Structure 1
Amino acid sequence: MISSSKIKSVDFYRKIPRDLTEASLSGAGLSIIAALSMLFLFGMELNNYLTVTTSTAVIVDKSTDGDFLRIDFNMSFPSLSCEFASIDVSDVLGTNRLNITKTIRKFSIGPDLRPTGSEFHSMPVIHLLKHGEEADDDSVEGSHMVTANNFDSYSHEYPILVVNFYAPWCYWSKRLKPSWEKAAKTMRERYDPEMDGRILLAKVDCTEEVELCRRHHIQAYPSIRIFRKGSDVRDDHGHHDHESYYGDRDTDGLVKAMEELVASIPLEESHKLALDGKHKNTAENVKRPAPKAGGCRIEGYVRVKKVPGNLLISARSGAHSFDTSEMNMSHVISHLSFGRKLSPKVMSDVQRLIPYLGGSHDRLNGRSFINHREVGANVTIEHYLQIVKTEVITRRYSREHSLLEEYEYTAHSSLVQSIDIPAAKFHFELSPMQVVITEEPKSFSHFITNVCAIIGGFFTVAGILDAILHNTMRMMKKVEIGKNF
C-alpha cells in the first residue's frame, strides 16, 4: 500500500510555510493589477467564444429546392381594370403561360388604392365568342344613342338598360355593330318601349362621350353593360352598380340573352312571354358584376422555371380593343419576393448570423412607379431583376445543422415607350452562382485552453515582475547602507 508521504513526493506545487513568506506592498499592487487584467481578458475571451462567426463562399448554384422558383407579389394598379388585368409568364425555354388565374386574386380599387368591394372573379373563357356574319348595314338602326345628358333618364326609366360602349375605330366594335342593331330592333319589336317597356338596348360612342365612359370605367371596346332599375345608386355621380355581358355577339345569341334578362322582370299575366326552356340561364352564364372602380390590386404567386424570363402584367382580351394612348400602367408594389417565405422568427434568427441578409429581399416593397405622361403615351414600365441565391447553414443545436435558403435581388427600373399595349414588365434572371454562408461554432476546448493560458501567463509574468521589482529594491537598499558606512 502506497504511503501518503510517497504521494506527496509527486506534488508539483510544494508549499512554503506561511511564516517563511513575506508580503510586500509592491507585490500587492502587482497582484491587484494582474487579477484585473486576467478578469478583463477572460471577459474578452468569453465574448469571442459566444460571438457567432461565419465563413462565406461563392460556388456554382446547386439548388436543392427543385427546378422552379416561386414569385410572390402584391401590386396595385390605379388605372388598370380587374376586368382585363392579365398576368402572363414567359421564359427563354419557350414557356408562355397567359392570363394565369388559379393562384391569383384581384380586387377592384379606387384612386386611394383601397378595395371598393369583394374579390373580383374572372370568368373562364369556355368557347370562342360567336360573331355575326352580317354586312355592316347602316340602314339598320335598332338601338338608341345615349349621351351623358340622357343616360340617367334612360337608366331610371327602363327596368333593364343594356348599353354597348363602343369606339368607331375599333375592329371588334365594327363586327358587333350589325348584330347589335338587329338584336336591338328585334327586342324593340317584341318588347315595345311604349307597351312593354321592360328592356332597352342602347349605345354610347366613347370617342364622343369620353367622361361618361370614364365614369363607368370603360377601358376596352366594345364593352356591353347591363343596368337594372332600382339597383343601388352610388354617390359617384349617380353611378349604378351594373354587370358586364360576355356572351356571344351574333344576333341570335344577343336576343336569347336579352330575353332571359326580360324574363326576370315581373309583368301582368297578359304580357308574360313563355320562353323556351333552352333559354334558361343563358344570361346567367355570360354576365358577371362589372368592376366598381377603374383600378385593380393583384396579389398571389406564380411558379417559374429557374431560367431568364418575364412576368408581365397588362390588359388582355381576345375580343376587345384597347386605346393604348389612354392606358396608364402606373403601379405601387406592396410586396415582391422570390423563393419560399421565411417566417419572421426564422428571419430574425438568420439575421443574428448575417445582419445584412434580407436587406435586398424586399428591395421594391413600398415603392411607387408612376407614369405622369410626361414622355407621351404607350409607356411600359420595366423592371430588371438580378437574383442571387443565398444558403445559410446554421448550427441551431449541438449536433444538428439547419439549412435556410434565401433569394436576394437587385432591381433597376425604367419607363419605355413602345407600339405595343402598355404593360408592367418584370425581367428576372438568376445568377449561375450562389452564396453559401456557414456558421462556424467555436471549440470549447479551445476556449478553456485560452482561459488557462491567460490565467497562467499573467500569473507567471506578474511573478517575474514582482521578483525583479523586489530584488531591485533590495539592491538599492544595500547600496544605500554601504554608502552610509
Structure 2
Amino acid sequence: MSFPQSGLHKRSAAKYSANNNSSTNDSGAIFKSLKDFDSYAKPLEDFTLKTNTGALVSLISYIVIFVLLLSEFTDWRTLQVNPSLDVDIARKEKMEINMNITFPKIPCFLLSIDVMDVSGEHQNDVDHSMTKARLSPEGAHIETSKGVIGEKHDSDPTVVDPNYCGNCYGGVTPPSGCCNTCEDVRKGYMDRGWSFDRPESIEQCIKEGWTDKIKEQEGEGCNLSGHIEVNKVAGNFHFAPGKSFQQGGMHVHDLATFAKPGAKYDFSHTIHSLSFGPVTSGFANPLDNHSKKATKGQYTYQYFIKVVSTKYEYLNSTVFNTNQIAVTEHERDILMPGAGLPGVFFNFDISPMLVTYKEYKKPFSHFLTDVCAVVGGVFTVGGIIDGLIYTAEKRLKSKIDLGKAS
C-alpha cells in the first residue's frame, strides 16, 4: 500500500543549529571589532593605585573646574557689545543739540545764544526752543519761561490809543513804520549798529518799566535748558552778553550793559548736561556736570568738540542713532574790552567716522565648547601634576631604601 507524498518537508535540526551559531559568531565578531575603537581603555582594578597626593590634586581640580565653569556660565549669560569703526556715508542735514547750563553771575536779560556754521547760516538770539529760568543769588528759581525774560513784550498794555505811533529815536524803522515797544526801539538800534545803553531816555521803555526790570535782575543768575537745531557741519554756538547783530559782515554783541562801570557780571558756569543728538543712558558725555568759576568779567571759555556719529544695534534688531563727543577746552583772560568777546563758546567739528556698537550673546554651543575645554584641560593638567608628584615620590623612596638619600 502506498501513500501520496505530502508538501511537508523535514528540517534538519543540525543544519539550524549550525546557522544559529554562525549568526552568533558574526555578531560577536562585530562587537569585538567595535571595541577596537574604544578611546577610553579601562585598567584592571588590580592594577590601579590610589594615593593621598592624587586625592588632593583631584579635589583641587574639582574646585578649579567649578570656579571656571561658573565663570563661563556668567560670561555666557552676559550680554556683550562689539564695537566697529566705519566711514559715515549717511547724509544728515540737521543735528539736535540738547543742553542744560547755569550761569550764576549773569542775569537772563543779558544772555543770548547764537549759532553760526561754515555753511554761512546764522541764528541770532535763539529763543523759540530754549527755556530761561531766573535764579536768585542763592540759586533758587524765581521765574521760568520760554525766550528772554524781562525783555520781550507781545503787546504793551499802556498803549491804548490805536493810532499811537512811537518814535524809533534814529533806529531802523520796522515795516509798520512805528516803534511802539521798547523792544522795537532796541531792535532798530541793533539794526543800525548802535549800542542800546540809555533806555531811561526812551518813552516806550519808561512806560514798560524796562529799566526797573533790568535793575531788579542785576544780581540774579540764569539757567538755560532746551535744544537748538544746527546743520551737521562745522560751526559753533555761544553764550555771550547783550544782543547780537551783524555789522559790516561781522558778528557783534552790544556790551554796553555788561561792561558798564560797577557791573559784577562774569561767565562762571555749570554744564549740567550737553549732548549732540538723542540722549541714551549707555554713553556718558565728558561735559556733563562740568563747572568753571571765573574771577573777572572779561573772560572767555572755549570748548572744542569733535562729534562722532554713533549707531547702537540692540539684540532685538532695534537701531538707535546718536553722537558721541570728545572735548578739548581752553580759557583766556580778555584784558581789555574789544580784545575779544567774553562768553562761553562751543566750537564743534564733525568726524567722518561712524562707530557702531552691536549687542551680542554667545550661543549655547559656544558654552558647551568652553565646558568641554575647561573639564578636559583641568583634568589633563591635574593628571600631569599627579604623575610628576608620584614619580618624584617613587624616586625619593627608592633612594631612601638604598640609603642614598641625603
Task: State the TM-score, normalized to the length of structure 2.
Answer: 0.61
1:425 is matched by which residue type in structure 2?
Answer: F
Aligned to 2:59: 32
SS at match of 1:221: coil
Q: Which runs of 5+ in 1 are unaligned?
A: 134-163, 165-170, 173-218, 226-243, 248-253, 259-282, 351-356, 374-378
Q: Deviations over 1:28-81 (max 9, x none)?
A: 3443343334334434444554566555444333458x3222222233334544
For residues 453 and 93 of structure 1, what CA distance do their matches in structure 2 show? Answer: 59
Contact 2:276-2:324 at 8 Å conserved across structures = yes
Aligned to 1:299: 225
Contact 2:315-2:358 at 8 Å conserved across structures = no
1:455 is matched by which residue type in structure 2?
Answer: V
Aligned to 1:415: 332
For residues 402 and 257 of structure 2, what CA distance do their matches in structure 1 show? Answer: 115
2:294 is matched by which residue type in structure 1?
Answer: I
Equivalent of 1:429, from 321, 343, 349? Answer: 349
Aligned to 1:89: 115
SS at match of 1:333: strand
Aligned to 2:365: 445
With over 3 angstroms needed to count, the CA separation of the structure-2 counterparts of 1:432 and 1:21, relative to structure 1, is: same
Equivalent of 1:342, from 275, 279, 294? Answer: 279
Matched, 1:107 2:133: yes
Q: Which of 1 and 2 has greater Rg?
A: 2
Aligned-pair distance for 1:96?
A: 0.8
Contact 1:329-1:380 at 8 Å conserved across structures = yes
For residues 453 and 287 of structure 1, what CA distance do their matches in structure 2 show? Answer: 80
For residues 32 and 478 of structure 1, what CA distance do their matches in structure 2 show? Answer: 28
For residues 196 and 30 of structure 2, what CA distance do their matches in structure 1 show? Answer: 103
SS at match of 1:83: helix
* Pairing 1:46-85 to 2, within 5 Å after superposition: 46-50=73-77, 54-62=81-89, 66-85=92-111
Equivalent of 2:213, from 281, 285, 290? Answer: 290
* Pairing 1:243-282 to 2, within 5 Å after superposition: 246=204
Equivalent of 2:287, from 363, 377, 383? Answer: 363
For residues 395 and 326 of structure 2, what CA distance do their matches in structure 1 show? Answer: 74
Contact 1:324-1:422 at 8 Å conserved across structures = no
Contact 2:134-2:141 at 8 Å conserved across structures = yes
Q: Deviations over 1:179-229 (max 9, x none)?
A: xxxxxxxxxxxxxxxxxxxxxxxxxxxxxxxxxxxxxxxx9532249xxxx
With over 3 angstroms needed to count, the CA separation of the structure-2 counterparts of 1:477 and 1:333, relative to structure 1, is: closer
Aligned to 1:184: none
Aligned-pair distance for 1:13?
A: 7.5
1:387 is matched by which residue type in structure 2?
Answer: K
With over 3 angstroms needed to count, the CA separation of the structure-2 counterparts of 1:68 and 1:41, relative to structure 1, is: same
Q: Which runs of 5+ in 2 are unaligned?
A: 1-22, 156-164, 171-181, 183-187, 190-194, 246-252
With over 3 angstroms needed to count, the CA separation of the structure-2 counterparts of 1:30 and 1:482, relative to structure 1, is: same
Aligned-pair distance for 1:95?
A: 0.5
Aligned to 1:389: 308
1:382 is matched by which residue type in structure 2?
Answer: Y
With over 3 angstroms needed to count, the CA separation of the structure-2 counterparts of 1:315 and 1:440, relative to structure 1, is: same
Please give the root-mean-square deviation of Cα atoms over the aligned residues, in Å.
Answer: 4.8
1:123 is matched by which residue type in structure 2?
Answer: K
Aligned residue pair count: 326
For residues 96 and 72 of structure 1, what CA distance do their matches in structure 2 show? Answer: 18
Aligned to 1:149: none
Aligned to 2:269: 332
Aligned-pair distance for 1:469?
A: 7.3
For residues 43 and 254 of structure 2, what CA distance do their matches in structure 1 show? Answer: 107
Aligned to 2:15: none
Q: Deviations over 1:338-373 (max 9, x none)?
A: 223435xxx2xx3xxxxxx51xx1426340342425
* Pairing 1:144-293 to 2, within 5 Å after superposition: 221-224=197-200, 246=204, 290-291=213-214, 292-293=216-217
Contact 1:245-1:288 at 8 Å conserved across structures = no
Aligned-pair distance for 1:385?
A: 2.0
2:306 is matched by which residue type in structure 1?
Answer: I
Q: Deviations over 1:3-33 (max 9, x none)?
A: 9979966464788698656552255344334
Q: Deviations over 1:298-322 (max 9, x none)?
A: 2222111122212132211789882
For residues 404 and 6 of structure 1, what CA distance do their matches in structure 2 show? Answer: 68
Aligned to 1:189: none
Contact 1:106-1:298 at 8 Å conserved across structures = yes
Contact 1:69-1:303 at 8 Å conserved across structures = yes
Contact 2:199-2:210 at 8 Å conserved across structures = no
The answer to which of 116-125 and 407-416 deviates more is 116-125
SS at match of 1:396: coil
Contact 2:133-2:143 at 8 Å conserved across structures = yes
For residues 342 and 384 of structure 2, what CA distance do their matches in structure 1 show? Answer: 83
Instruction: State the percentage of identical aligned residues.
Output: 20
Equivalent of 1:316, from 224, 233, 243? Answer: 243
Aligned-pair distance for 1:330?
A: 1.6
Contact 2:286-2:327 at 8 Å conserved across structures = no
The answer to which of 42-51 and 428-437 deviates more is 42-51
Aligned-pair distance for 1:94?
A: 0.7
1:405 is matched by which residue type in structure 2?
Answer: T
SS at match of 2:289: coil
